[in-house]
Amino acid sequence: MLRTPVILEEVDLKEKKKGKRVVISASERVSMLPPYLFAQIDRQKELALKKDMDLIDFGIGDPDIPTPSDIVEEAREAVTVPSYHRYPKGAGSGFFLDAVRNWMREQSGVSIDEGLDVGAVIGTKEGIAHVPLFFCNPGDLVLVPNPGYPVYRASAILADAIPVDLPLLRENGFVPDLNSFAKEIIDSVRLIFLNYPNNPTGAVLTLNQMKEIVEWARREDVLIVSDNSYSHIRFDGKPPASFLQIPGAEDVCLEFHSLSKTFNMTGWRVGFVAGGRNLVKTFMGAKENIDSGVFTAVQKAAEKALYSNTSGYFDIYSRRREVLVSGLGKLDWDVCESPGTFYVWVKLPKGTQSMRFARKLIAHTGIVVTPGSGFGTYGEGYIRFALTIPEESIYQAIGRLEQKELFRHKIKAWLKKGVE
């Protein structure tokens, strides 16, 4: 069932004199999009701020560490180059793409040779959102991780494709079970979104698991769309992994990499796509009809980043993670194993609604988390912490939780109590 049409504009003009009202509504696609996740949380935060509460915000996955100064300086110099002020090359400037090729080779052992290619995107969100539009026909099925990044589902809807839940269950290590689908479903699947290291669960894939997925995709003729935005944020001692390391993946995979999380460049809006030459050519060719590419000065800064060393930043996330996981563990919170990303995924007591819990957490402690329900139905009963706040704030949050004795003797009464 479609939602109530979204009214974009009311036009009166001469019709007003006739007693008529012309209503311009959004398309059915837009009406099918999920509601905004953070609306209720934002309202609760506003109420808390009006009470002069000091909020500790674990909700936003936006690095608090500034972009490295050498990258900023590179951009500062680049914006003074007159030729960079003109339209950029749609597929990306040669110097940026060369840096991408070098980075893929050094970081993941992937050689961008005759069978592979790369292209620039205006952040991976933009790139990923366009894939179903470019590769799906109306009615095609798209496997969407649940819980997962909301853009995957939205992009399928906007392409007139049909999103199908790909359950990520704790008992499976938050790794999809592709053999659980009936053959008639798989026969209609056009593409599958995958995101490892995973947002929101923090799960990772082994190379063997990647190999099995590639073999499945080749057998079923399904395009893998790998969102590798958190490739380098791992705490299991393993190196960054890419689906393109797997033989045969070039025929069935488009992999997106972001500079947002790896280099603290969320606001710069730059990333790249890598994959089979024909797949990348098709993607970039279609994209030329929609945008004019990444600002060349930003690509120059991105080139600098790709030749940089960022390991120190991941050590910061590792320390923050240790503080939070240890503190929550002492309070008997059910923390899921999360060897990747800068998120910590936590299971709530059975029957606890994640949105209600998150709202009460703000009201009673000033701590902001993301309710798991915002990532899909299988995210219900979980909450997500983002490690994008200073270590001292994490210690402070643990102290507040200790004072409230959450998940201990007062939990039932606390959950029943109305939001103040």
- Pick 251 or 21 by higher pLDDT: 251
pLDDT in tens, 306-336: 999 766 689 999 999 999 999 999 999 999 9
Whole-Å CA distances, 171 to 176, 229, 420: 11, 25, 36
- Residues 157-172 have a mean pLDDT of 97
Q: Specify the pLDDT at position 19.
A: 62
Q: What's the pLDDT at 387?
A: 97
Q: Give the pLDDT mean for 372-395.
A: 97
Measure the CA–CA gap between 123 and 102, rounded to whole angstroms: 19
Answer yes or no: are the C-beta atoms of 163 and 152 closer than 8 Å. yes
Which residue type is seen at 366? G
pLDDT at 30 over 80: yes
Facing residues of 145 across strands? 166
Please determine, for residue 417, whether its predicted confidence score (pLDDT) is greater than 80.
Answer: no
Span 179-202, mean pLDDT? 97
| pLDDT at residue 418 is higher than 50 | no
Confidence at residue 16, expressed as pLDDT on a 0 to 100 scale: 54
pLDDT confidence of 420, banded at 50, 70, 90?
very low
Q: What is the predicted pLDDT for the residue at 2?
A: 41
Pick one of 3.40.50.620, 3.40.640.10, 1.20.140.10, 1.10.3720.10 as the CATH number of 69-306: 3.40.640.10
CATH architecture of 35-61+311-416: Alpha-Beta Complex (3.90)
* Mean pLDDT, residues 113-135 taken together: 95
Exposed, middle or buried by CB within 10 Å (0-12, 13-18, 19+), for 156? buried
Residue 47 is predicted with a pLDDT of 84
In single-letter form, the type of residue at position 230 comes to Y
Residue 162 has pLDDT above 60, yes or no: yes
Read out DSSP for 133-162?
Answer: HHH--TT-EEEEEES--HHHHHHHHHTT-E
Q: What is the pLDDT of residue 33?
A: 85
Question: What is residue 413's predicted lDDT score, i.e. its pLDDT?
Answer: 55
- Average the pLDDT over 94-120 and give the result: 95
DSSP secondary structure string for all residues of 193-225: EE-SSPTTT-----HHHHHHHHHHHHHHT-EEE
Condensed to tens digits (0 to 9), the pLDDT of residues 338-352 reads 899 999 999 999 999
Across the chain, mean pLDDT equals 91
pLDDT tens per residue across span 252-302: 999 999 999 999 999 999 999 999 999 999 999 999 999 999 999 999 999
What are the CA-CA distances from residue 217 to residues 131, 132, 179, 223 (Å)? Answer: 16, 16, 12, 7
Quote the pLDDT of residue 26.
86
Tell how many helices (H) and how many strands (E) occur in the chain: 16, 15
Q: pLDDT class for 31, splitting at 50, 70, 90? A: confident
Greater confidence, 159 or 9?
159
Q: Mutual orientation of helices 39-50 and 354-365 as an angle, nearest 10°?
A: 10
Numbered ranges of CATH 3.90.1150.10 in the chain: 35-61+311-416
Single-letter code of the amino acid located at 401: L
Question: Could you tell me the pLDDT band of residue 11, with boundaries at 50, 70 and 90?
Answer: low
In the chain, residues under CATH classification 3.40.640.10 are 69-306
pLDDT of res. 15: 54
Q: Which residue has the tokens 């060897």?
A: 339
Nearest to 241 by CA among 83, 69, 104, 64: 104
Separation between Cα atoms, residue 51 and residue 365, nearest integer Å: 12
User: What pLDDT is recorded for position 411?
Assistant: 54
CB atoms within 10 A of CB 94: 10
pLDDT at 214: 98
pLDDT band with cut points at 50, 70 and 90 for residue 3: very low
